[in-house]
């Protein structure tokens, strides 16, 4: 019990240091808020991947998620932490991230399967920032996607990058999980890549922070 509390405190300190480091770089190098926001998304989400091996109960994750949510709320309305909040578009993604982490952890905990938490978090941590940064910064040969005559905010290059990285991560993760590579491994990884890319494609205002991991989790629950 004591060790878990210490680890929780270490994670809190780590998140605070990460946000401080991000804020310093944002101000010193005058980086775009989108870039520093995605860096924080990547590092913070990736840091949660070992949670199933550290925390025995979802209650610890709930407390951490609530504290993170409160910190985001306070800093936004006090106009602080611009490295996270300084974006032109409207987004609730930062608020949905702690909810996403807790919900995915809770379901994995109830099903007693660590893997269905780990893979969704890996895809959310890596693929989402990859798609966003490439989609925003590379303009040449990179048009916005049209769906049923409606032009989406997503770009071909961004969604393509998301699909490829999701497929690669899924293949590697499933290989190490099952310790073999066969047709089932490939088709499951391909299904995860397609479904998660579609979840990212149709999401809006940052809701992909929730739809991406839950879509991956659903595929794993149905087909593993």
Do 131 and 34 meet the contact criterion of CB atoms below 8 Å apart? no
pTM, 2 dp: 0.91
What residues have CB less than 8 Å from 14, skipping those under 6 apart?
47
Q: Is 30 exposed, middle or buried (0-12, 13-18, 19+ CB in 10 A)?
A: exposed
Residue 86 phi/psi, 5-degree rounding, is: -85, 75
Q: How far apart are CA 51 and CA 46, in angstroms?
A: 10
Band of the pLDDT at 84, cuts 50, 70, 90? Answer: confident
- For Cα atoms 95, 100, 105, give the angle at the middle one, nearest 5 degrees: 140
Write down the pLDDT at residue 98: 94
Q: What does the pLDDT average to over 3-19? A: 86
Do 91 and 205 meet the contact criterion of CB atoms below 8 Å apart? yes
**Hey, where are the domains in the chain?**
2-223
Crossing angle for the helix pair 58-77 and 93-110, to the nearest 10 degrees: 180
3-state secondary structure of 171: helix
Q: Residue 137 above 80 pLDDT?
A: no
Predicted confidence (pLDDT) per residue in 104-124, tens digit: 999 999 999 999 999 999 999
3-state secondary structure of 29: coil
């Amino acid at each position: 019990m004591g060790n878990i509390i210490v680890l929780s405190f270490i994670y809190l300190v780590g998140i605070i240091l990460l946000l401080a480091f991000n804020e310093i770089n944002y101000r010193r190098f005058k980086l775009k808020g989108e870039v520093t926001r995605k860096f924080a998304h990547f590092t913070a989400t990736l840091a949660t991947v070992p949670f199933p091996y550290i925390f025995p109960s979802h209650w610890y994750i709930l407390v951490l998620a609530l504290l993170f949510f409160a910190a985001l709320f306070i800093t936004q309305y006090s106009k602080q932490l611009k490295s996270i909040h300084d974006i032109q578009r409207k987004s609730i993604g930062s608020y949905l991230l702690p909810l996403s982490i807790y919900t995915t952890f809770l379901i994995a905990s109830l099903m007693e399967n660590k893997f269905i938490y780990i893979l969704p978090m890996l895809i959310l941590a890596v693929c989402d920032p990859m798609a966003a940064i490439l989609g925003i910064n590379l303009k040449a040969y990179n048009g916005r996607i049209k769906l049923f005559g409606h032009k989406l905010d997503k770009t071909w290059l961004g969604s393509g990058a998301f699909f490829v990285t999701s497929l690669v991560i899924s293949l590697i993760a499933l290989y190490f999980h099952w310790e073999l590579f066969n047709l089932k491994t490939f088709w499951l990884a391909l299904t995860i890549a397609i479904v998660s890319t579609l979840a990212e494609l149709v999401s809006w205002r940052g809701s992909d922070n929730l739809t991406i991991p839950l879509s991956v989790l659903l595929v794993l629950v149905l087909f593993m």
